[in-house]
Structure 1
Amino acid sequence: MTDALDDLIVDSEATADIDLLAELLKSYVRINRVGEVLFEEHYQTQSDRKKITLYLLARKVAVIKNLGEGLKEECRPKEISEKTCIAPENVRHYLGVELKGIVIKVKRGLYIVPNYNLLKCKALLELKTGDEK
């Protein structure tokens, strides 16, 4: 039996909106068959906050499509830094402060964008670079 309060409950296990995920990433990244994220030219013009979000979304796609043996969606800040070429201290700042509410820590030191936050990602990516604050 459901009631009006059920609309307030989010399910961290809910499946991702595949169409929305594709829309969010199509101008910025491609992913090869081993799960490696390849950045498109338009990605390079984005803020670091957006780059981190895009990278985490691309990892989600790689896992959904079973690309890369043993690839997990969860990422450590060090890996995000290495893959996006953003300084480690900046990655940690964005994950802990500016992307709080979009990116969550699922385990000690591991981060993801939960499926229920894809609309928040869309809102972030639609902001012009100077309007992000």
Structure 2
Amino acid sequence: MSTMRMLLDGLAPKAKDQLLRLARPVRFPAETRIFSERQHADRFWVIESGRVELDKNLPGPSTALVDTLVPGDLLGCSWMTPPYHWRFGATATTEVHALEFDGQAVRRLCSQDISVGEAVSAAVAAALARRALR
């Protein structure tokens, strides 16, 4: 099941509308570095089209591929819990279209509406579990 579907399934129409009001469409050209490991994490994206590679710095000048994200996947989980720093880096390998969400606004909505909080938490947990299995 896609992350966006997981986020929205089961939400009451009002809660779904509140969450989607916090989204804005964005575009990343191919080869764009979206974020780097250890930078401040203040947002997340649901990929609508394109591919994004997650990477992890290794000792020396090299990196390791962690995961490749495709449409429907959640990009960015580090915005949800302190210290709000990216654990990985991310690069668009093709042109990417995504919905971008402000992390602070979504955390605030999650604390105000438990159904949104549960849906967002489940989507983030599923994304993290999928990455742990790779």
Greater share of residues in helix: 1
State TM-score, norm by structure 2. 0.29
Which protein has greater RCO, CA pairs closer than 8 Å, 6+ apart? 2
More strand by share: 2
